[in-house]
Structure 1
Amino acid sequence: MDSSQPSHLSPGASGALRRFAGWLARGSVGHPMLEGVDYWEELCESPSQMEICFAIFANVLELDEQGEPVNEKHAEHRAAAWLYRYCTGELPPGEPDIEPWECRLH
């Protein structure tokens, strides 16, 4: 392993993942985009969709040289846009389509 590469998530990256999980579980992810959209029931019935939601957040999240997140709200927004499309069948108005790289499972 390259010694210049950290072996653990930075506190900021770990916090970003924790916050995203909390927002998702409380039903407040992407607020106000998903207001009135009951996504929790949909995700509970299809765990693989929750996996994709987390993949989008993680794939879009960018880290600086110290491993700290620089675009956490944007990553949350893209995951929320995907949830909106999953639950309603369409993207929110003005939202660009979800790119294949955003939802790729690694």
Structure 2
Amino acid sequence: MTHLPTDVRAAIRFFAFYLANDTLDVDLLDGIDYRDRVFRFGSDLEMAFAIFTNVLEVDEEGRTLNDGEAQYRVAQWIRMRCDPDYTAEPPFEAWETELHGP
């Protein structure tokens, strides 16, 4: 059995840290207290991780290529959930918000 590459595990760990500590893309989410919403409703937290892992790209050596972009897409989705006047650019594609698993 193989494990996720160290770089991928680190990217997920930092994403979880930023999300939980209200430091996920501080410019885009400035003044928006999203934590209550994201952590109160399991489906919002589930979607945040789905978007992050769907957008995250990894090279052949297991190094992450765009963890900042993956975090930004999650921040855009959170902003849309908290601010009905906000529109993500570019709009989310179906593959970005796809939930995998049983």
Q: TM-score, normalised by structure 2?
A: 0.91
Question: Who is 1:11 aligned against?
Answer: 6
Equivalent residue pairs, number: 99
> Secondary structure of 2:90's match?
coil
Which amino acid in structure 1 is aligned with residue 92 of structure 2?
I
Calculate the TM-score normalised by the size of structure 1. Answer: 0.88
**Alignment gaps of 5+ in structure 2:** none
Distance, in Å, in 1 between the alignment partners of 2:75 and 2:62 is: 23
Letter in 1 for 2:66: N
1:48-59 superposed matches below 5 A: 48-59=43-54
Which runs of structure 1 show a deviation greater than 2 angstroms over 4 or more consecutive aligned residues?
Answer: none
Question: Residue by residue, what CA displacement relative to the aligned partner does 1:11-39 show, whole Å, maximum 9, x if unpaired?
Answer: 11000000000000000112211010110
Number of the residue aligned with 1:83: 78
CA shift for structure 1 position 68: 1.1
Work out which of the two has the higher radius of gyration on C-alpha atoms and give 1 or 2: 1
Output the CA distance in 2 between the equivalents of 1:21 and 1:44.
Answer: 12
SS in 1 for 2:71: helix
Gaps (5+ residues) in structure 1? 1-5
RMSD: 1.2
Sequence identity percentage: 38
Distance (whole Å) between structure 2 residues aligned to residue 35 and residue 101 of structure 1: 27
